[in-house]
Amino acid sequence: MKTIPRAERLIAALDLASAEEAKSLVRRLGDSVSFYKIGLQLFMADGYFGLIDWLTRQGKKVFVDLKFFDVPETVGAAVRGLRNRGVTFATVHGNQPILEAAGREKGEVKILAVTALTSLDQGDLDDLGFQCDIQKLVLSRARRALEAGCDGVISSGLEAPLIKRELGGRLLVVTPGIRPVQNRPSDDQKRTVDVAQAFVNGADYIVVGRPIHQASDPRAAALGIQATIAAVFSA
C-alpha cells in the first residue's frame, strides 16, 4: 500500500438531508477535511451525482457508500457507472460472486467490502442467523474480499487488529463507528472505538459523522480529530 497522506485518513460522513446542506458543511470545514463519504441519505435526495462532481471540483476525495447488494451483473454495472467520476472508494456487500463482479468492474475505484456493520453486536448477528463469533465472521469476509479482488474492507476498530495480523497490508481497513467521546445510550453505533485506538488497532482510515456535523463548531471538531491523528502518526 502507498503511504496515505495523514490529512486524508479522516473521512467525514455527509449524512445530511440535502446536497445543499452537505455543501454548506464542506465550506464550513474548509481545509480541515479533504475526504468525504456520501451515503444512502443523500442518495435519496436530489443532486447526489452533482454533489460528487462538486466535491471533486473542490479538490476533495469522495467515498460512495451505497453498499451495493444485488445480483452480480447489476452490481458490476453499478460499479462500472462510478468509473471516471473521480470516486476513490465504493462499498459493496454480499457473497463471493457479488464481490468478484465489483472487483472486475472497479477500474480506478477502490472497492471496500462490508464485513459487519458497527451498529450490530453479537446479539444482532444471532438474530440475523449468523451463528458464529463476530471476529470469525469479519475475518472470513475479509479473506473472501481479498480473494475477490477488493481493495479493502469496512470493519470496526475492534476487529481491525485481527485483520491486520492475519492479512497484513494487503487490504485497506476503513473504520466507521468512531466516537471521540463516550458513546451516548441513544447512539445506534454499538461496536465503537475512539480516534487514537482505531489507528493503533490498524485502521488506515476512519469515518466520522455525527461527532463532526452535530458539533457546535464542526471545523474545530474536525481539527481536533486531525490533531489526534497527527499525534498517533508522529509517535
The catalytic residues are 67
Widest CA span of the chain, in angstroms?
46
The Cα 78–Cα 65 span in angstroms is 12
What is the per-residue DSSP string for 155-180?
--TTTHHHHHHHHTTSSEEEE--B-S
Set of cell numbers at residue 99: 464481490
The secondary structure of 31-51, three-state, reads HHCCEEEECHHHHCCCCHHHH
Set of cell numbers at residue 8: 486524508
